[in-house]
Amino acid sequence: MDWSQGTPPATRSAHREVLPLLRVVGQVGLTYIIAEGPDGMYLIDQHAAHERVVYDRIVAQRAAAGAPATQPLLEPELLELDALQAATAAEYADHLAGLGLGLEPFGERGYLVRAVPAGVGGTGVVSALRSLLDQLAGERRVADPFARAAATVACHGSVRAGTAMALEEMRALIEDLARTGSPRTCPHGRPTLVHVGADAIERQFGRR
């Protein structure tokens, strides 16, 4: 088998997980990417994998430049908040700004979202922010507000289950995933992939 067209392994280090070389085969259920590896088959959850990619990008850009790169929205999104959400937004304003969100006060308790972190879809940003503010308001103390915010924005801004992906898009996603620091889990701890070994496949077909 020629693995030269697969995903190159990430650079090894003492603190980095490494994916095996993977060759994308296709997509099943518009939700999982099928890939072949040196020892069997891998099913990759496209949403969880993209979540990890987006989250790591936001964190890395903030570490390098103080804030992630942003992309302006063609049309600003209106974020209307209740009193508790508005108070929480004011309390965590620095962390929200650190995400690369362009928020402009609008009215008594609203904001216009004019920019989002680069690589994050703008259509889910309002629901992401509402979800995030509800989470922050519901907890007395959040250990790492920025990490929580980045994970929520990454979740809502990533490719969804049920989305058709072209072969090149799937390859690019797996390549990006392989470059992350924790490619086997999403920021919320869910697995990004499941490995079915060659031995297990052969047993299912009565070959062992």
User: What is the rounded distance in angstroms from the CA atom of residue 102 to the CA atom of residue 89?
Assistant: 13
Mean pLDDT of 11-31: 81
Which pTM was predicted? Answer: 0.81
Question: Across the chain, what does the average pLDDT equal?
Answer: 85
Q: So what's the pLDDT on residue 122?
A: 59
The verdict on domain 67-156 having CATH code 3.30.1370.100 is: yes
DSSP three-state, residue 86: helix
Q: How confident is the model at residue 11 (pLDDT cuts 50, 70, 90)?
A: very low
CA-closest candidate to residue 120, choices 168, 175, 206, 55 = 55
User: What is the rounded distance in angstroms from the CA atom of residue 192 to the CA atom of residue 31?
Assistant: 12
Whether residue 78 has pLDDT greater than 60: yes
User: What is the rounded distance in angstroms from the CA atom of residue 22 to the CA atom of residue 137?
Assistant: 42
Q: State the DSSP code for 18.
A: -
Q: So what's the pLDDT on residue 116?
A: 83
pLDDT tens digits, 160-183: 999 999 999 999 999 999 999 999
Q: So what's the pLDDT on residue 63?
A: 80
Tokens coding 23 = 């060759």
User: What is the rounded distance in angstroms from the CA atom of residue 118 to the CA atom of residue 116?
Assistant: 6
pLDDT tens digits, 56-66: 998 888 787 77
Mean pLDDT of 73-102: 86
